[in-house]
Amino acid sequence: MAETANKVLFNIKNVHIAKVTGEEGGKLTYDTPFKVPGARGWSPEPQGESAVWYADGIIYFRQDVNQGYQGDLVIAMTPEQFLTEILGRIKDKNGAIFENINDKQSRFAFMFESDGDVKSRRYVYHDCTATRPSREHSTIEESIEPGEDTITVTCAPRSTDGAIGAYLEPNETNQEIYNKFFEKVYEKDQAGDV
């Protein structure tokens, strides 16, 4: 039986981040993903250009360069775990989060879910970096308008194999893997055990 495909995608939810912990056997290794609540938007733009070379009065050679994506992730508030594990900030004994010029940022996998009119789609980008969040602070007027954090995320080709990302929609054969998608970073042809 043919499966019904989505006609539209909407919403962003279930944002998860998994810190890159190292490289083993030519593959990146990751920490267990942690949730980033309050997702409001993600707007990735393709990175890379087309190289065109002319000969004989025509385009003789064309090569598209895929350097991944870059976009703004808009969230309600950047969680402490992202600030410390990914952006390298330090938490002192009193609970204050310190930002320092020498903070060491970490690479990470970026995962999230998008609704569809038929089925949801879960995404992973394997090798990402992030800017420090920008934050809106404004006064209360007639109503309360919560501020937002905006983090620019760069999703580059993975240094070990060139993988950029993938998405997975549930079907009759992959439901177990789909259900466990946010338990660890999804890899090509992953088995059902996590």
> Is 34 part of a structural domain of the chain?
yes
Give 1's pLDDT tier (boundaries 50, 70, 90). very low
Bigger pLDDT: 137 or 62?
62
> Is 4 part of a structural domain of the chain?
no
Label residue 11 left, alpha or beta by phi (over 0 means left) and psi (-120 to 50 means alpha). left
> Is 189 part of a structural domain of the chain?
no
Tally of structural domains, the chain: 1
Q: Is 93's pLDDT higher than 60?
A: yes
Q: pLDDT at position 97, please?
A: 97
For residue 113, give the CATH number of its domain. Answer: 2.30.110
Q: Is 49's pLDDT higher than 60?
A: yes
Give 164's pLDDT tier (boundaries 50, 70, 90). very high
- Domain of 158 in residue numbering reads as 9-181
Q: Does the CA dihedral 76-78-80-81 come out positive or negative?
A: positive
How many CB atoms within 10 Å of residue 72?
A: 15
> Is 49 part of a structural domain of the chain?
yes
> Is 121 part of a structural domain of the chain?
yes
Picking from 167, 169, 166, the residue whose alpha carbon sits closest to that of residue 117 is 169
